[in-house]
Structure 1
């Protein structure tokens, strides 16, 4: 039975749609990797380990408005974060391109072609009655091409592109978490250096008073020149530390400007800003296994494993036949008045089956390449899990140790304050000299400096722990979110 042209076209569309719907998908289906042994719990006591961790905007819980401003500005303007957003756009476009491979490619066009054929050419135009050597051909129509996804190569490619998009989004989330932590760490270092600078200046002032007294007593013969030189040595050593501390403070503030996506000098006004009293909490780190769902590096590694699994299917599909369909149609005429007449209709349908029968083993070698890449991705995921656990354990230990150190320095500072109070009382009673009182004051300033350094170290370790356990892991950001992403 011979069907009319429109029936043939309809039949072809139905036939190829059925083929597409019943086509199989080759290659392994992705399954979540087996759970990596995370141990039975933290290896050392973690205060609040079983409490729910409020980690989304952890810097907001520290009672420091300036820190909140800095972090929020960095999250909006930091160039690393903006680059991460651009990488997401790139990955999303690659996914959309892979999705487009499943649809036909259709083009349309129209032309008016004026041509003259040679009367002495292979076609004897001059000897054919009624055939003019000069002609104008009017043509309008469309062409379509479609490779039927018989064995799921395009679907596997879309799976892989979608997984890579998700991995890129997880990595971008990691960039945001890192920048938030870096801003907080740099701010703590800047304020810590500023407080240390004030204490060191007080120490130098005390030593200057001691030196002046020693010189006066030396002039009276009460002390030796060696005692004056010793006092001068202590003053000079303390005074020599001032430029380095000031440089650390300025360097940290300059670093804040860059982290905020601005010229380094933008935040120099912070050199004169005092940080509020800071309480360093015992963090509710949650269960040890909880960090795996909050760590972007672990999430990204799992998505890369999914993409590598899909790549095997893409390579495997090359072993099987390919079915391509070309179709075209339109109107062609020699007269503008007949251009869109039904008798000027033209069309063509061209199914094409191709099968690579011999390629020197290149396809099977490519499959082995993809399988090896998948094994690497699986090992990379396991490595990411273990690295995350190790990072969390290490930073928890460092933070606990820094809190213990701070507690001990605080005890030493309290003792030094009591000792200075006793010295003031004894000086008022005439039991000790001013030089002895200044010596007690110098020891108090040194204890204050040591305590400030311990507090800054603990604050920095706190930031590292927040980052290690996934602090800020589900920060909302419209730049990273899109429908169907």
Structure 2
């Protein structure tokens, strides 16, 4: 990204507006903005280019495979697009149902949609500044006047006694009514582009809200998928633990019978009881963790904890996608909602510099009032009662102790801050993708190793029990083998779940394919090049940004 230079904003920069799209040009508001805003001071925003040398690091062509559920090898498909409903790659109707319910019911989606609607309505409201404002007025006043107020004037202009006598007589009183009907029209020409830059700022703010909505959608869907997979993992770990507890209990029963026959020592029986108790002690933490994860899943679905209907996902029923789409580094910045939201925050900060610059320059207002004044209503329509006023006003700050200058400098600093935040967001995004790719790659190897470890632990336990029955080893060897098998099976289940969770995290880090989605949130249906607010002027602003990005 080019280094920001304060020299870009040191002088009030004027730049002619580019042409409007045909549909926007048909709008009166857009026409007024085009013809009356000949130039706009401040910087013209140019979207930051994609990092030229950025990448994700070395990951290889595919992952390892393992002979277990979730152990299939996955190939990295570089340049392949992310599907809009990426969670369907797991081929789980239950996950798809949970995601649909979360999108429909979670309040964060509704809040983000409302914020977007608010921003777009602000655009529509501020678009009105490009057109004249008209006000209709009608008033009626009843007033009483007296000639006494002219008495002093009469006495000073007459020296005769008759005049003095007349002036000292009782004053005459007049009562009359006055009808006043008028139309006032005012217009502030956007000479230096203040209104244009304000609307540009509003449009960028709406774009930011739009991508924040997408980020909310993406985070929610990914959280639902991850929570469902985590629930399946806990359920499998609980089942493994219960199965081993049952096996330990059977083994304890055999030892107790052999103890009654004098074939084993009491110490061996007590050791097996301790082993059983230790295995039983591992069960409540797993059940607690699953219950808390279920509560979290219910919250994602927009439910209260007591509304849990028991929907669950089985790890053995999930399928890993054979190909994992990996977006090219050059396209990632156009796909991640957080990057696009940060870019529009930068755009807004750029436009605010233009607004602050325009505030330092003269402001102009044209106004006209036309109407009629008459003492009775019927006379209002007579040509003799017509009145009008034409006015032109220009104003500029003569002295403000540097307030406007420092306000502009503050906006420049805000732009620099937004630019640094954008770079940080891009770097974090690439780190996120790289971490997800490494997790997919190495967790596949972890599952392969855990499957082998579980198989070896099961064989070791069988050998230890056989040797103990033959009297060639102590029972502590059997206990150690049992504990090793329990740990190996739990680790294998966690490794299985990690592969599915890693896949979900990778697809989330690549942007989630929102641009390919038949959207379930009506406020979010545009593709990256079509994301414009409903205002035609906002459409023109967005078109300018797209032209700048494409170098046109």
Distance 1:417 1:330 in 2: 99
Distance 1:137 1:171 in 2: 57
Q: Identify the residue that residue 450 of structure 1 maps to in structure 2.
A: 491
CA deviation vs aligned residue, 1:85-144 (integer Å, no higher than 9, x gap) = 1111121122223322222222213223233335544699x99xxx96222222222222
Taking only aligned residues, the RMSD between alpha carbons, in angstroms, comes to 3.3
Structure 1 residue 249 corresponds to structure 2 residue 290: yes
Distance 2:88 2:102 in 1: 14
Question: 1:51 deviation in Å?
Answer: 4.7
Distance 2:213 2:129 in 1: 27
Question: 1:357 deviation in Å?
Answer: 2.4
Structure 1 residue 210 corresponds to structure 2 residue 251: yes
1:59 to 87, 92, 107: 87
Distance 2:270 2:147 in 1: 117
Structure 2: which 5+ residue stretches go unaligned? Answer: 1-31, 63-75, 154-165, 526-532, 539-552
| More deviation, 59-68/261-270 | 261-270
Q: Identify the residue that residue 528 of structure 2 maps to in structure 1.
A: none
CA deviation vs aligned residue, 1:34-91 (integer Å, no higher than 9, x gap) = 4434435533325424251333111011111010011111112211111111111121
CA deviation vs aligned residue, 1:134-185 (integer Å, no higher than 9, x gap) = 2222222222222211111110111111111111111110110000000001
Question: 1:259 deviation in Å?
Answer: 0.8
SS class of match (2:78): coil
SS class of match (1:154): helix
2:41 to 21, 26, 38: 26
Structure 1: which 5+ residue stretches go unaligned? Answer: 1-16
| More deviation, 347-356/210-219 | 210-219
| More deviation, 93-102/166-175 | 93-102
Q: Identify the residue that residue 14 of structure 1 maps to in structure 2.
A: none
Q: Identify the residue that residue 109 of structure 1 maps to in structure 2.
A: 137
Structure 1 residue 479 corresponds to structure 2 residue 507: no
Structure 1 residue 71 corresponds to structure 2 residue 99: yes
Assess if the C-alpha contact under 8 Å between 2:98 and 2:224 holds in 1.
yes
1:45 to 57, 60, 82: 60
SS class of match (2:333): helix
- With over 3 angstroms needed to count, the CA separation of the structure-2 counterparts of 1:35 and 1:274, relative to structure 1, is closer
Distance 1:26 1:257 in 2: 52
2:119 to 91, 95, 117: 91
Distance 1:51 1:419 in 2: 46
- With over 3 angstroms needed to count, the CA separation of the structure-2 counterparts of 1:120 and 1:74, relative to structure 1, is farther
Q: Identify the residue that residue 168 of structure 1 maps to in structure 2.
A: 209
Structure with larger RCO (C-alpha < 8 A, sep 6+)? 2
- With over 3 angstroms needed to count, the CA separation of the structure-2 counterparts of 1:315 and 1:232, relative to structure 1, is same
Matches within 5 A, 1:66-465: 66-118=94-146, 120-121=148-149, 133-270=174-311, 274=314, 277-281=317-321, 283-415=324-456, 446-465=487-506
Assess if the C-alpha contact under 8 Å between 1:88 and 1:165 holds in 2.
yes
- With over 3 angstroms needed to count, the CA separation of the structure-2 counterparts of 1:144 and 1:234, relative to structure 1, is same
**Structure-2-length-normalised TM-score:** 0.76
Distance 1:465 1:387 in 2: 14
SS class of match (2:397): coil
- With over 3 angstroms needed to count, the CA separation of the structure-2 counterparts of 1:191 and 1:40, relative to structure 1, is closer
Distance 2:149 2:270 in 1: 115
- With over 3 angstroms needed to count, the CA separation of the structure-2 counterparts of 1:368 and 1:122, relative to structure 1, is farther
Assess if the C-alpha contact under 8 Å between 2:214 and 2:514 holds in 1.
yes
Count of residue pairs brought into register by the alignment? 461
Distance 1:267 1:120 in 2: 88
Question: 1:287 deviation in Å?
Answer: 2.2
CA deviation vs aligned residue, 1:344-384 (integer Å, no higher than 9, x gap) = 22221111011222222222212211111111222221111
Distance 1:236 1:315 in 2: 72
Distance 1:147 1:391 in 2: 49
Question: 1:262 deviation in Å?
Answer: 2.2
